[in-house]
């Protein structure tokens, strides 16, 4: 794998100008980049941050736990590139953005959540307008929104259950707006990790 990592960063370095300004010829540039990442691990994917003096390049596992070690080792092998900030896993985003796939667009302000616990396991119940169980796009959007709110690493390593419903579903637990998820989730993680005091 180390050879493929070195080859990837050599390729990335040679194509910095093309990647930094990917908005020109985006489809071709992204196809070439995907081809190079797949050589490292078939599940690796990527994101770019907005263009400025320094641009963020995110290496993602695409939500696949088996690819986590490949993400970590590839980012650790990255050379120092002045114009780039290399990030492992999709980070938390502030503010949250709308997510659109095809004709379906979901705004974060329209999404609610409930937190669920079973012992030390945390679950998240999302309530998404128009959700259809048989339409995989809604589930893809839900996971992307969770990655934006909590970061890809925490979603995959600290969340045990993800449930999705329409907002009209019966209300059995308290619901909150999506923008509050990161704070309430972190509080719950800390509370569950804290040692219990003897009686």
Instruction: Burial-class residue 128 by CB neighbours within 10 Å (0-12, 13-18, 19+).
Output: buried
Q: What pLDDT score was predicted for residue 188?
A: 95
Q: What pLDDT score was predicted for residue 193?
A: 84
* Other CB atoms within 10 A of residue 140 CB: 15
Q: For residue 141, how far is the Cα from the chain centroid?
A: 11
Express each pLDDT in 41-95 by its tens digit.
999 999 999 889 999 999 999 989 999 999 999 999 999 999 999 999 999 999 9
Q: What pLDDT score was predicted for residue 169?
A: 85
pLDDT grade, residue 149 (50/70/90)? Answer: very high
Instruction: Output the furthest CA–CA distance in the chain (Å, rounded).
Output: 65
pLDDT grade, residue 198 (50/70/90)? Answer: low
The pair of three-digit structure tokens given for residue 176, joined into one six-digit string: 């909150």
pLDDT grade, residue 170 (50/70/90)? Answer: confident
pLDDT grade, residue 17 (50/70/90)? Answer: very high
Average of per-residue pLDDT values in the chain: 93
- Predicted confidence (pLDDT) at residue 199 exceeds the cutoff of 60: no
- Predicted confidence (pLDDT) at residue 1 exceeds the cutoff of 80: no
Over range 152-163, report the average pLDDT. Answer: 94
The pair of three-digit structure tokens given for residue 161, joined into one six-digit string: 């259950």
Please report, for the chain, the start and end positions of each structural domain, with discontinuous segments joined by +: 2-88, 99-193
Instruction: Burial-class residue 92 by CB neighbours within 10 Å (0-12, 13-18, 19+).
Output: middle
pLDDT grade, residue 196 (50/70/90)? Answer: low
The pair of three-digit structure tokens given for residue 124, joined into one six-digit string: 């998240």
- Predicted confidence (pLDDT) at residue 148 exceeds the cutoff of 80: yes
Express each pLDDT in 97-126 by its tens digit.
999 999 999 999 999 999 999 888 999 999
Whether residue 126 contacts residue 98, with contact meaning beta carbons closer than 8 Å, is answered with no
| 138: alpha, beta or left? (left if phi > 0; alpha if psi -120 to 50) | alpha
Whether residue 167 contacts residue 127, with contact meaning beta carbons closer than 8 Å, is answered with yes
* pTM for the structure as a whole: 0.85
């Amino acid at each position: 794998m180390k050879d493929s990592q070195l080859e990837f960063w050599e390729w990335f370095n040679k194509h910095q100008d093309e990647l930094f300004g990917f908005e020109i010829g985006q489809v071709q540039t992204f196809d070439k980049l995907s081809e190079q990442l797949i050589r490292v691990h078939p599940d690796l994917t990527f994101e770019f941050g907005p263009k400025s003096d320094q641009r963020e390049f995110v290496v993602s596992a695409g939500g696949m736990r088996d690819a986590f070690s490949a993400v970590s080792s590839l980012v650790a092998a990255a050379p120092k590139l002045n114009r780039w900030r290399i990030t492992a896993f999709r980070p938390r985003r502030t503010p949250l953005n709308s997510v659109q796939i095809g004709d379906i667009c979901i705004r974060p302000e329209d999404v609610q959540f409930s937190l669920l616990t079973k012992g030390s396991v945390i679950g998240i119940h999302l309530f998404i307008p128009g959700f259809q169980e048989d339409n995989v796009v809604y589930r893809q959007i839900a996971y992307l929104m969770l990655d934006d709110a909590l970061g890809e690493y925490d979603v995959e390593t600290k969340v045990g259950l993800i449930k999705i419903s329409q907002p009209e579903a019966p209300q059995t637990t308290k619901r909150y707006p999506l923008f509050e998820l990161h704070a309430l989730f972190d509080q719950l993680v800390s509370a569950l990790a804290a040692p219990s005091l003897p009686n």
